[in-house]
Amino acid sequence: MTVPPDTYADDLYAVEASSSTTTRNGVITPFNIVVMLVVLGLIGVVGYGVYRSQQDTLNEGKAPDFTLRIYDDVNIPYSDENLQMRFSGQEIRLSDFKGGVVVINVWQSNCPPCHEEAEMLERVFREYEASGVMFIGVNAKDPDRLAYEYLAQYNITYPNGLDRGDRIQDTYRTTGYPETFIIDPNGNISKHFAGPVTEAQLRAEIEKAMKTGNGL
């Protein structure tokens, strides 16, 4: 039996098309690689987020020590020329202040609640500074210019620095901004505020932590 020419041509085209499709599908193109990398990256980000959300923020126990490279005088007008003046390389450690109460505040300049509590934090710091209470501001992710503008806007004088690589946030397992930790004179976490803290709450917890240091 003779196959009609048109039918034979159609069958031959179908076989070639099938073979061509199989060949293309069997080759990993640069586009395929990019897509796979993007998917793997998204899986990693989501997985890390789930991991962080399942880790309880530190609410008690010994406060992990850390080093923070602090910003210099924020009252110096910002400019590219004097930027180097702001990073003299001075570093502070949490353990430098053991024996006194330490208030650690994690903030970011685009966080509205951070702005709302900024003036209050500075006011309470100035009142308790003479009693040996230290405040440390931990800036999360801000470019230098935004951080300086924020600190200058509220005339913040206590030490602040950028949490490079999120090391401090990872160690304390924070989940947002602002977050505030009160460390007592024995180096223990006395109180953790996840979210904004009121002036009354902050004063009460500082007083409580100070009594711990006095053996009361």
Residue 62 lies in a domain: no
Distance CA 119, CA 33 (A): 50
Q: Is the pTM of this model over 0.75?
A: no
Average pLDDT of every residue of the chain: 79
- Helix, strand, coil percent values for the chain (each to nearest 5): 50, 15, 35
Write out pLDDT tens, residues 23-38.
445 567 777 676 667 5
What's the average model confidence in pLDDT over 1-25?
Answer: 45
Instruction: Mark whether 32 and 83 lie in a shared domain.
Output: no
CA neighbor of 152 nearest in space, from 72, 84, 90, 213 = 72
Instruction: Mark whether 49 and 74 lie in a shared domain.
Output: no
Instruction: Mark whether 74 and 32 lie in a shared domain.
Output: no
Instruction: Mark whether 11 and 78 lie in a shared domain.
Output: no
Instruction: Mark whether 99 and 122 lie in a shared domain.
Output: yes
Neighbours of 36 (CB within 10 A): 11
Count the domains in the chain: 2
Instruction: Mark whether 39 and 142 lie in a shared domain.
Output: no
Residue 61 lies in a domain: no
Instruction: Mark whether 33 and 122 lie in a shared domain.
Output: no
User: What is the model's pLDDT at position 33?
Assistant: 73
Instruction: Mark whether 112 and 73 lie in a shared domain.
Output: yes
Range of the domain at 110: 67-213
Instruction: Mark whether 201 and 103 lie in a shared domain.
Output: yes
Instruction: Mark whether 98 and 165 lie in a shared domain.
Output: yes
Residue 201 lies in a domain: yes
Residue 93 lies in a domain: yes
